[in-house]
Structure formats: C-alpha cells, structure tokens
Structure 1
Amino acid sequence: MDASLEPLKARRLALLLRERIASGEIAPGSRLASEPALALEHGVSRVTVRRALDSLAADGLIDRRVGAGTFVREADAPKPIVADFANMLTHLVEMGRRTGVRLISFAYAQPPEAVAQALGLAAGERTQRSVRVRLIDGQPFSYLTTHVPERIGLTYSESDLASVPLLALLERSGAAVDRASQTISATLASPDVAEALALEIGSPLLSLTRVVFGPDGRGVEHLHALYRPDRYSFQMELHRAGADGDRRWSPVPSRGAGRDGEACPWAPSTVAEG
C-alpha cells in the first residue's frame, strides 16, 4: 500500500461523509457505522477512516463517544447568510448590523493592472487597499479584498473601516453608487485565506469579483470576496418570461427598497457585501 495516498483517501472519505451529513442522508443524532464497517464499505484502511473522522470531529460535525460510537451532532451552528440578488442596498445595511469585521490590512498603493483597468483609473493613480474578514456570531465566513480610488479612500480612516460597512463610508464620502458588474466562480483556499477563515488549505470557496460604478461611469470600488460555502450562499428569485418559442427564466424585479425607499434599479445583477 502506498502510504502517501492515505491522506488523500482520508480527505476524500471525509468529504463524502460531510456531504451525506449536509444533505441529511445521515441525520443529526444518528450513529455512524463502526470504523471496521466504514473501512470495508469504502475499501480503505482503518487508519484512513480514523483520519477522516478526526477531521469531521475537528469541524464539529460528529461526536466520538468512547464505548458508544460516533454520532452526528445536532446542528447548533448559526444558519448561513443568504445574500438576496434582488435587494442589494438594503441587504448591505443589514449585513453591517448582523456581522462583525476584522481588519487585516489597510494601505495606499498602486493596484494590480487588472484592478486599475476595471476601475478606469488614470496612469499612476493609487488605491486604498484593505483586507477584511467578516464574521457571524464570531465565526469567519468571508475574506474581502477591496480597492477604492485614493481620492475616495482618503475620506475615511482605518478605524472607520474596522467598524463601518464600506458602502456606508462610500456614501458618506459623496460617492454616488449607480451600477455594478460582478462575476461569481469557485476557487480553493490559499494558505493565508485558509488560516483567516479557519479552513484547511485547498478547501473550496465561493469567489465573487464586483466592480461598483458611479453615474459618471468611473469605478468607486473593486471587491474580491471569498466565502465559506457552508456559511454563505446566493439566492435569486426567477420567473418565466418571454413569448411562446422564446420562453426563458428571468430575475424577478426587486420589490425591496433602497435607502430612500426606491427600488434598487441595478439589483438583479448584484449581490450583497461591502
């Protein structure tokens, strides 16, 4: 047996059991099969099973009781945050009330070329770059890297950013928010992100890149957000639209209200966080 493969087998088994627990296939409070039975079922050694169960126990998914067996824990973690595509501005304010933030870095520097182009910056124009971790009930769920043009970033301080949602700081600066463009994908946690989000290196993450623009078309914020998928998800309401032969799913127009009580005109293409 190739010993170098054992950690990979253990991770694969842990992910499989995690998925069965998350889907409800293995119900909370139920007893898992014994280590020998799991080893036989999945064609691995007992050492591999033990490593997989150790990983699940470390994440608080199971309880290992001496002489009794291994049991799936009752869900006691906070429900994951669900970001509603259809009402970004209101949700951003609510996010600021429900969650905490830990500021990791705050500096002024030349942004990467891709960020400068996305924001439409002039040659040599700097940005205020910050890295923050958002928490819900003290547990990290997102890793945020933001770039704001220096002319706007100078209107708030490091202590402001550690206590006030960025959207509120942008509005306070007088920067008008008109529309946004964003992309959602998936990625794996690098060592620094994994440490900040209390995950293993290489854990799967949701990745969102959003650029916010003012009425003049100039960028006011570039956000790259990484989310723990077990603590954050995206939601959009859809309805059937179009004539016969051209039927399709379309976002439901926002029924929520923005700051001034008006429906957010760019809500279907946006998502909360700032």
Structure 2
Amino acid sequence: MNTQLRSGLPEGGKARRVYLLLRDDMSNGTFPAGTSLPGEQRLAELHGVSRVTIRRALEALAADGLIEKRAGSGSIVRAPEGASAPLAADFTTLIPQLVAMGQSTTARLLSFSYGPAPDTVATAMALPEGARVQTAVRVRLVEGRPFSHLTTYVPEAIATNYTEADLATTPLFRLLERSGVEVDAAHQSVTATLASPDVAEALGVSVGSALLSLRRVVRDINGQGVEYLSALYRADAFRLEMTLTRVGLGGDRHWEPVIGDPTAREAAE
C-alpha cells in the first residue's frame, strides 16, 4: 500500500479543523513520531468539540497513515514512509538555494503545452496581448518523496530553445541561461494556500492541506518577463528560515535580516 496517497479530509467542518490542527502539530514536532496523542476526551476539551468529532478526525489521520490506533495505548504518531528532515531555505538567499535544490533533487514532468498566457501571467510579465507561453507542471522530489508542485510559464520564443525532455532533467534557470537569457532581477511573494484535489494527489497530501505558496516573476536585463513561477510546497517537507539581528540605538533598535553567511561576512571585513 502506498501511504503517500491520502484519503482526504474527514466530513464536517469541525472534524476537518481538528484534523488539520493535529496534522500540523505532528509536522512541527509538537507530537513527534512515536509519542501518544492525548485521549479523545482531552482532545475534545482542548478543541472545544465533541468526542464524535475527535473520533472522525483521528480516523482520518489513521487512514492517512499518520497515526496508529492501539488498544490500551491510544493513538500513536507514525513517521511517514521515507520521511526525512524538511528541506530548509533561508528567505534572504532563497533563489540561489532553490536553484541548488533543483540540482540535488529529481523532478517528474506532469504536463507540457503551449498556448495563450493566462491574464494574470500576461499582466505580471508585461506580455503583449495574445502572447503565447510554454506552460509546464512538475513535481519535485527528494529521496522519492514529493515536496513541491511547480507551474512555470515561459514566453514561447524562449521556450522553443529547449525540449520537453530537457525540462524534465534540467533546472529551468539553467535552460533559460542556455537559451541566451540574461537574468537580471526577480520579484517574489510568499503566502499560504490550501491543496486543491489535483495538487493534493501530486504531492501525496489530503485535499485542503496547508501549503506554502511562492510566486515569482523573473526579468531579463531589458526588464522583460522571462519566467512566471507558481510553486506550492508541502508544509511538512519544506520551510523558510531567516536569521535576524538587533541593530540601532535606544528607541530605534529593531530587527534586520542577516544577508548571506555572517561568518563569511565577518571574515571578509
């Protein structure tokens, strides 16, 4: 049985809320693998719901292979098959780290096509009306476990310089450079979203699971959009980190991000 395929959220809004909260608690280490969840009555008190609701949430977690219900021991948290430490990226150096991940992980190409750019993509990339783009959907895996769902849009004139097979085996940044694109700048935003049915199936999570959503527009030296990326990351397999330092004097003291490796920076100074 492939435990990466999830059964889906339990019925009922309250049961779904409890399911997602408990799943997050297991993902972030509040309830690590091998530990027991609180009993049904205690969980019902903690979440302000009935024991029937708790039971539905626990049954869904068990069906997803996230817990094991043992007589006399309650619900034991299980480690996912093939589980490894979540990939981490420093928010201040995110792009080069994502490129490095592209070289150290594998990708599965789900779809590849050409057609008119969606309105949101055309606007973000400042493409002319009716411009055509290559749309590719990939799932990136680490040790065979899916952790990101990537949808990229590249202007047709650039994309015709590489093949579908190239995209399945080579990071897109490398293909853009190989096509003669001189990347100059990018703008990206990070938000949260919920897994739709198709994304949930591809990532091996339940429909409605929380995902990290990253959108990025890459531009060349002429300011022209050359790539639009919509990336979705499993919250239990990828996290963003940032190192902060206190700067300023008196009432002006505040937090600022540390850019790059502080040790290397100090050595250079």
- Do Structure 1 and Structure 2 share a fold, with TM-score over 0.5? yes
Q: Verify the 8 A CA contact 1:38 1:49 in the aligned structure 2.
A: yes
Provide the residue aligned with 1:146 in structure 2.
152
Question: Residue 14 of structure 2: which of 1, 9, 22 is its match?
Answer: 9
Shift, 1:209, TM fit: 1.0
Provide the residue aligned with 1:183 in structure 2.
189
Does residue 63 in structure 1 map to residue 50 in structure 2?
no
Mean Cα deviation higher: 225-234 or 237-246: 237-246
Aligned length in residues: 252
Mark the CA change 1:65 to 1:98 in structure 2 (over 3 Å): closer, same or farther: farther
Mark the CA change 1:182 to 1:93 in structure 2 (over 3 Å): closer, same or farther: closer
Distance 1:160 1:243 in 2: 53
TM-score (norm 2): 0.81
Distance 1:222 1:6 in 2: 36
Question: Residue 79 of structure 1: which of 85, 93, 110 is its match?
Answer: 85
Distance 1:217 1:43 in 2: 53
Distance 1:50 1:199 in 2: 20
**Which amino acid in the other structure matches residue 18 of structure 2?**
L
Does residue 100 in structure 1 map to residue 106 in structure 2?
yes
Segments of 5+ residues of structure 1 without an aligned counterpart are 257-274
Provide the residue aligned with 1:195 in structure 2.
201
**Which amino acid in the other structure matches residue 102 of structure 1?**
R
Percent identity (aligned): 54
3-state SS, counterpart of residue 87 of structure 1: helix
Shift, 1:176, TM fit: 1.1
Mark the CA change 1:68 to 1:123 in structure 2 (over 3 Å): closer, same or farther: closer
Does residue 225 in structure 1 map to residue 225 in structure 2?
no
Mark the CA change 1:158 to 1:52 in structure 2 (over 3 Å): closer, same or farther: same
Shift, 1:46, TM fit: 4.9
Provide the residue aligned with 1:271 in structure 2.
none
Shift, 1:188, TM fit: 1.8
Provide the residue aligned with 1:234 in structure 2.
240
**Which amino acid in the other structure matches residue 32 of structure 1?**
L
TM-score (norm 1): 0.79
Provide the residue aligned with 2:142 in structure 1.
136
Mark the CA change 1:150 to 1:19 in structure 2 (over 3 Å): closer, same or farther: closer
3-state SS, counterpart of residue 60 of structure 2: helix
Shift, 1:6, TM fit: 6.2
Distance 2:116 2:235 in 1: 31
Distance 2:242 2:48 in 1: 41
Shift, 1:173, TM fit: 0.9
3-state SS, counterpart of residue 207 of structure 1: strand
Distance 2:147 2:56 in 1: 25
Shift, 1:24, TM fit: 4.2
Mean Cα deviation higher: 113-122 or 156-165: 113-122
Provide the residue aligned with 1:264 in structure 2.
none
Q: Verify the 8 A CA contact 1:131 1:144 in the aligned structure 2.
A: yes
Distance 1:44 1:240 in 2: 42
Shift, 1:242, TM fit: 4.8
Segments of 5+ residues of structure 2 without an aligned counterpart are 1-9, 263-269
